[in-house]
């Protein structure tokens, strides 16, 4: 699919990059990326997120290990940790003598705010000729990452992000059929199996034909396998950070 719209073309060419050159991103480009992130939509202008740029090699090495040995966390020119942040909101409320209960709704708001801002950053980075990859693996050791980065109460690390000049050109991973995700008027549960089977064939061809790839699999097979991964348990850590989920 091609369009005359440069922004849409860039979005359609997105891929995760895990190998980077040694070229620095530089302060100016990084600040442009974060300023772009700040213009993302945010619930009630709460801006309930923060970003921690981690440069210290020892911290990077430790986070890479906790994230499952992802070496690009160490090697990328920039590594950011995106945090849901209600601490700053609480400080603003207290300045006027108020208080708030960090309920599940606030937790959702702050997590969504962080994700929206990060995606703005990803698009901005790619528009500058850079590549990115999200690092959800930091949640393998959520408590340890929170302690390492000294986050205050009502803040938790949601995911990391590596940024740099791509050192390779990864294949674009195909997505589900549009009809599987775009529903009209009501959710189309009856059609999902057919869309999955259609996508499985597309995915099988992608997995077998990708650069250096010989893997014979389908999307549904990979998703079933994913359910057998050890599940991350975050309730205790988040409660310790001050979030409350009782409604």
Secondary structure (H, E, C), 94-132: HHCCCCCCCCHHHHHHHHHHHHHHHHHHHHHHHHCCCEE
Domain termination site, one of 136, 170, 204 = 170
The Cα 241–Cα 187 span in angstroms is 36
Q: Which residue has tokens 């719209």?
A: 5
Same domain, 161 and 119: yes
- This prediction has a pTM of 0.93
CA angle at 104 for the pair 100 and 107, rounded to the nearest 5°: 80
The answer as to whether 51 is a domain residue is yes
Whole-angstrom distance between the N-terminal and C-terminal Cα of the chain? Answer: 46
- Residues 6 or more apart in contact with residue 127 via CB below 8 angstroms: 10
Tell me the two tokens of residue 47. Answer: 């801006």
Number of domains in the chain: 2
What pLDDT is recorded for position 211? 64
Give the pLDDT confidence of 201-224 residue by residue, as tens digits: 999 999 988 766 567 899 999 999
Residue 79: CATH number of its domain: 3.40.109.10
What pLDDT is recorded for position 4? 83
What pLDDT is recorded for position 245? 74
Same domain, 66 and 143: yes
Same domain, 146 and 72: yes
Domain termination site, one of 170, 189, 219 = 170
Q: Would you say 152 and 85 are in contact if contact means Cβ atoms under 8 Å apart? A: no
The answer as to whether 240 is a domain residue is yes
């Amino acid at each position: 699919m091609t369009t005359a719209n440069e922004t849409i073309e860039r979005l359609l060419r997105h891929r995760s990059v895990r190998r980077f050159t040694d070229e620095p991103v530089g302060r100016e480009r990084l600040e442009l990326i974060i300023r772009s992130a700040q213009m993302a939509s945010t619930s009630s202008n709460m801006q309930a997120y923060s970003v921690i740029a981690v440069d210290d090699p020892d911290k990077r090495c430790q986070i890479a290990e906790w994230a499952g040995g992802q070496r690009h966390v160490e090697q990328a020119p920039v590594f950011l940790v995106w945090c849901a942040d209600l601490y700053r909101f609480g400080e603003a409320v207290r300045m006027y003598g108020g208080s708030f209960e960090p309920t599940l709704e606030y937790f959702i708001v702050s997590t969504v705010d962080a994700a929206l801002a990060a995606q703005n950053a990803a698009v901005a980075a790619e528009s500058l000729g850079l590549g990115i990859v999200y690092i959800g693996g930091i949640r393998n050791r959520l408590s340890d990452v929170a302690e390492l980065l000294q986050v205050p109460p009502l803040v938790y690390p949601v995911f990391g992000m590596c940024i740099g000049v791509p050192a390779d050109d990864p294949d674009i991973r195909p997505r589900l059929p549009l009809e599987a995700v775009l529903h009209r008027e009501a959710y189309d549960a009856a059609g999902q199996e057919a869309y999955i089977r259609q996508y499985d064939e597309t995915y099988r061809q992608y997995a077998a034909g990708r650069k250096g790839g010989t893997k014979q699999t389908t999307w549904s097979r990979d998703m079933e396998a994913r359910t057998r991964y050890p599940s991350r348990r975050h309730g205790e850590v988040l409660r310790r950070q001050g979030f409350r989920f009782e409604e």
